[in-house]
């Protein structure tokens, strides 16, 4: 069996799904389909009979795929999580990137490797983007809170903007807390008193 490998991507976010498919389709070597998560995942897999299933480690639906490992009907093909015994780091980097691959029994490791490599690099990009997004969001929120706290101090104590920030920073340093935490306490307290 050296035909096109069929790959099923389990991903509920259409944007991410498209990026994974793009990352894999170099040379048109694979037949790729996508399903979004649902309680009927095992049924989808049984119907499409893919050679490889790619799924996010964070997805609780992964457990449904474990059922397939013990599929015992005459038409069922045993599927197992892909582990390259000759290359432990591949499995490790897959888990770290957050992707797991389930493959049918007997598929050679060298045919899976490029798929997994491509998936790992995509997932690493997702992970980086997620971290970046979270960091930016947090920074923005912190700045908003600090601005509000400064405004409260300026009004209540007749300080300049610089003096208000200085007071926040001094309080934070004296109490071993972060400026944004002090600002947040002040905003909360002011809300309660108003």
Partner 1 sequence: MTRVLKVGFIPLTDAAPLVIAQEIGFAAEENIALDFLRVPSWSAMRDYLMLGHIDVAHMLAPIPVANSLGLGSVEGDLDVLAALNLSGNAITVSCDVAREMRAAGYRFDFADAMAAGRALIGLGRQLRIGVPFPFSMHAELLYYWLEALGLAAPQALSVRTVPPPLMAEALAQGEIDAFCVGEPWGSLAVENGHGTLLLPTSAIWNTAIEKVVAARRGWAEADPERAGGLLRALWKAGRWLDQPEKRGTAAEILARPDYLDLPVGLVERALRGDFVTSPHGDIRHADRFVTFHDGAANFPWRSQAAWMGMRIAKRLGLDRRESIAAAKAVFRTDLYRAHLRGIRADLPSASEKVEGTLDHPTAVPSETGRVILAADRFFDGSVFDPMA
**Would you tell me which residues interact with partner 1 (CB under 8 A)?**
37-40, 42, 57-67, 69-70, 72, 80-81, 83, 85, 91-92, 95, 100
Both tokens of residue 140?
């923005």
Nearer to partner 1, 62 or 150 (CB): 62
Q: What share of the chain is helix, strand, coil (3-state, %, to 5)?
A: 60, 15, 25
Both tokens of residue 74?
């005459």
Minimum CB separation from partner 1 for residue 80, in Å? 7
Minimum CB separation from partner 1 for residue 8, in Å? 17
Decide: 93 and 123 in contact? Cβ < 8 Å. Answer: no
Nearer to partner 1, 79 or 168 (CB): 79
SS3 79: strand
Nearer to partner 1, 100 or 180 (CB): 100
Nearer to partner 1, 72 or 108 (CB): 72
Minimum CB separation from partner 1 for residue 156, in Å? 32
Nearer to partner 1, 22 or 63 (CB): 63
What is each CA distance from 158 to 145, 150, 152, 163, 168, in whole angstroms? Answer: 19, 11, 10, 10, 14
Decide: 94 and 116 in contact? Cβ < 8 Å. Answer: yes
| DSSP state letter for 27 | G
Minimum CB separation from partner 1 for residue 11, in Å? 14
Minimum CB separation from partner 1 for residue 151, in Å? 29
């Amino acid at each position: 069996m050296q035909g096109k490998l069929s790959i099923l991507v389990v991903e509920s976010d259409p944007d991410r799904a498209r990026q994974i498919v793009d990352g894999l389709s170099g040379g048109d070597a694979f037949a790729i389909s996508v399903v979004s998560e649902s309680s009927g995942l095992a049924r989808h897999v049984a119907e499409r009979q893919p050679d490889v299933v790619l799924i996010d480690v964070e997805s609780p639906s992964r457990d449904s795929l474990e059922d397939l490992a013990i599929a015992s009907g005459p038409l069922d093909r045993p599927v197992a999580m892909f582990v390259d015994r000759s290359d432990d780091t591949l499995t490790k980097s897959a888990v770290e990137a957050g992707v797991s691959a389930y493959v049918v029994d007997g598929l050679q490791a060298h045919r899976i490797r490029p798929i997994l490599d491509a998936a790992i690099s995509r997932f690493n990009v997702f992970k980086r983007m997620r971290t970046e997004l979270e960091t930016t969001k947090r920074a923005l929120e912190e700045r908003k809170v600090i601005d509000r706290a400064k405004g409260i101090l300026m009004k209540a104590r007749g300080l300049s903007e610089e003096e208000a920030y200085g007071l926040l920073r001094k309080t934070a340093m004296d109490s071993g807390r972060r400026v944004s935490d002090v600002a947040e306490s002040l905003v909360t307290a002011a809300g309660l008193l108003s």
